[in-house]
Chain A
Amino acid sequence: KQEVTQIPAALSVPEGENLVLNCSFTDSAIYNLQWFRQDPGKGLTSLLLIQSSQREQTSGRLNASLDKSSGRSTLYIAASQPGDSATYLCAASNDYKLSFGAGTTVTVRA
C-alpha cells in the first residue's frame, strides 16, 4: 500500500523567499506524481504532473522534481507571494489510484 508523507506540515515565510516543499512515497512503482494546490474550503487545483519517466516539470515560478529511486519529490516555488498562501498536496499514482499526503500549509507574510 502506497504511503505518502509531506514535511513540513506547515510553513511560514516572508514574501520573496523561495519555498521548498517535500514529499516522500514508499512504493517507487508509480505512473506519475502530481502536485495540487488547495485553498481553504475549495477543491484541488492541479499544479504540476511529473510522469514516471521524467525528472522534473516547470511552470512559471513552480518547479517540481522527481527521484523515483529514493521515493522523493520536491516542489520549489520561487519568489513567494502572499497569493501563494494555500495548502499544497502531493499525490502518487499507482494503477490509476492516487494516494495523497496530508499536505503542507504555506503562509506567505507580506
Chain B
Amino acid sequence: EAGVAQSPRYKIIEKRQSVAFWCNPISGHATLYWYQQILGQGPKLLIQFQNNGVVDDSQLPKDRFSAERLKGVDSTLKIQPAKLEDSAVYLCASSSPRSYGYTFGSGTRLTVV
C-alpha cells in the first residue's frame, strides 16, 4: 500500500509569514494526526481527525495554527503568523482500527528565521 504523503519536504520562512503543509493519508485510514517534533524531543500531537471531524485539538495553538480535513481524506495544516519557536518537523500520520498501528509520513521541516 502507498504510504502517507506529505509536502513540502522543507520550508524556510520569515517570522510573521504564513505557511501551509499538506498530507494525504493511507487510503481507507479514517484517523489522521498532525504532530510537531522540535529538535531533540519526541513528537507532540497537535490535532487528531476522525474522518473529517476533529477528535482532539487540545494542544493546537489556535491563535495561529489551523487545520482542516475536507471530505475525510487530505488534510492541510496552516500557521499564520509564524514564530521562531514554530521551527520544527511537522509529521502527519494515519491509522486504521484494523491495522492498529500508526503510519507516518516523511515530515515537513520548517525553519522560521
B-binding residues in A (CB < 8 A): 4, 31-32, 34, 36, 41-46, 49, 51, 89, 91, 93, 96-103
Contacts and interface: CB of A to CB of B under 8 A. Distances in A.
A42 B93 CA distance: 14
A93 B103 CA distance: 13
Nearest to A48: B101
Given A98-B93, A100-B44, 4 more contacts: A42-B106, A91-B42, A98-B33, A102-B42
Interface of B: 6, 31, 33, 40-45, 48, 55-56, 89, 91, 93, 95, 100-107, 109
Interface of B is mostly: strand
A43 B106 contact: yes
A4 B44 CA distance: 12
Chain A CB within 10 A, most for which of B31, B48, B101, B109: B101
Contacts of A31: 100
B42 A32 contact: no
A99 B93 CA distance: 13
12 contacts: A34-B102, A41-B89, A42-B107, A43-B89, A43-B104, A45-B104, A46-B101, A46-B103, A89-B42, A100-B43, A102-B40, A102-B42
B107 A32 contact: no
A97 B103 CA distance: 13
Of listed B55, B56, B91, B102, residue having the most chain A CB within 10 A: B102
